[in-house]
């Protein structure tokens, strides 16, 4: 549809080129597309599990993986507003974490909550370079503010953003 609408603009070509992030090829199963990349989500749960199992594993066993994961996860928080957000009817993304990585730019309330939980469970200030949120208390406050912006008027929380449409649309959803 994009190509038929305005082939000279090249939007369809840019979109198709972007699909390569989601594709891989191997001799056994051939060319495939991933339905989702979930690095932030998976790293958050892995860090929480490592924190919970640290006594059973011994403090040094999981430390390298835990510290590397916490450092990476802290870099995935969206700390700047999106350009042209209002033009595209986007909510404020500052403070949020995405399902995959920050490149995705669609932060989610549950991913943000899990990332915060994981980073808070990772000891700060240890010699191994363990994590706190990217900018300490400011990052934690931004994450909490993002989660609160996703809260609906009825008290529940939206996934990507708070409910903005009438109840009829929600019913259809």
Active-site residues: which are they? Answer: 110
Output the CA–CA distances (angstroms, integers) from residue 87 to 19, 91, 92, in the order listed.
25, 11, 12
Tokens coding 52: 């919970």
Q: Are strands 23-26 and 30-33 parallel, antiparallel or unpaired?
A: antiparallel
At residue 151, what are phi and psi to the nearest 5 degrees?
-80, 135
Tokens coding 104: 């995705």
Tokens coding 133: 């949120």
Q: How far apart are CA 19 and CA 78, in angstroms?
A: 22
CB 15 within 8 A of CB 2: yes
CB 146 within 8 A of CB 107: yes
């Amino acid at each position: 549809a994009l190509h038929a609408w305005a082939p000279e603009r090249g939007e369809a070509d840019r979109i198709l080129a972007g699909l390569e992030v989601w594709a891989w090829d191997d001799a056994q199963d051939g060319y495939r597309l991933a339905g989702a990349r979930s690095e932030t989500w998976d790293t958050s749960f892995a860090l929480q599990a490592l924190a919970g199992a640290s006594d059973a594993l011994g403090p040094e066993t999981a430390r390298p993986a835990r510290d590397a994961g916490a450092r990476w996860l802290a870099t995935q928080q969206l700390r700047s507003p999106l350009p042209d957000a209002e033009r595209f009817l986007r909510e404020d993304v500052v403070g949020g974490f995405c399902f995959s990585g920050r490149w995705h730019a669609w932060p989610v309330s549950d991913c943000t909550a899990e990332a915060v939980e994981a980073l808070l469970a990772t000891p700060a200030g240890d010699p191994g370079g363990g994590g706190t949120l990217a900018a300490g208390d400011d990052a934690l406050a931004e994450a909490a503010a993002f989660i609160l912006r996703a809260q609906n008027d009825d008290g529940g929380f939206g996934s990507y953003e708070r409910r903005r449409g009438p109840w009829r649309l929600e019913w259809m959803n």
